[in-house]
Amino acid sequence: MVGFAAEQGATLVLLPEYFAVLSADETLKLRHAEPAGDGPLQRFLAELAREHAVTLVGGTIPIVTADPTRVRNACLVYGVDGKQLARYDKLHLFNLNLGAESFCEARTIEPGDKPIALDTPAGRVALSVCYDLRFAELYRRLLPFDILCMPAAFTATTGRAHWEVLLRARAIENQCYVLASAQGGVHPGGRCTYGHSMIVDPWGEVLDVLPEGAGVVIADADPARLAQVRRDLPALANRVLD
């Protein structure tokens, strides 16, 4: 898929959260966790970026911690030369209790400690993961940025209710492009995710969407469009509270 996206002209590519290890079995990520800086998943991502000459935001992978019962949910970014440019560890850990459907990521994931944004050839990119999407203050801390990258695995239940409206809200309030790559379908153990990978422009318009299954969404993150929206409706410049 990375190769296909590159053939279509993509220079910035985003994979979904836990693209290689998503399951209803929460211990799977513990068994596949890698030390920071090396491991088969990290080598795979580095080679993909190098082979296809793209900036690759590698979804997330599990990275070992000092606690053998928990991992970091790490989003790694690689440049066109295959070198790691940045690492963001998911800050907000999913917590849901709907009776028959419940999640508590804190049991197996250690939260990150700081927000991360970086400069890329496509523009300044803010990193976040899945549940982070619900916390608008995170993105205010990261401003200014041009593109928000959001690898995710929203549940089918929460996705139907909230996914698109949250993505569009983050795009509108931060006047940025949102690139959201989402797991979609039924996974080992019966876990169901919502999918609907999409790209949203700074006006909140959905430019492309993939409801479910394997594929890509692609759009032009046009700097001129970004500047126009910020000029026509200068909400960021008009902020009063930090």
Condensed to tens digits (0 to 9), the pLDDT of residues 23-70 reads 778 888 999 999 999 999 999 999 999 999 999 999 999 999 999 999
CATH number at residue 192: 3.60.110.10
pLDDT number for residue 99: 84
- Any catalytic annotation for residue 137? no
pTM, rounded to two decimals: 0.95
Inside any domain, residue 240 = no
Name the catalytic one among 29, 105, 130, 176: 130
Residue 239 is assigned to a structural domain of this protein = no
Give the integer Cα–Cα distance in Å for 194 and 155: 6
For residue 216 the two structure tokens come to 């890509």
Annotated catalytic residue 17: yes
Active-site option among 29, 90, 105, 176: 90
Residue 114 falls in the annotated catalytic set = no
% of the chain exceeding 70 in pLDDT: 100
Domain hosting 31: range is: 2-232
The 10s digit of each residue's pLDDT in 155-185 is: 999 999 999 999 999 999 999 999 999 999 8
Task: Note whether residue 238 is domain-resident.
Answer: no
CA–CA distance, 179 with 197 (Å, rounded to integer): 8
Of the ranges 165-174, 210-219, 222-231, which one carries the lowest mean pLDDT score?
Answer: 210-219
- Alpha-carbon gap, residue 21 to 41, rounded angstroms: 10
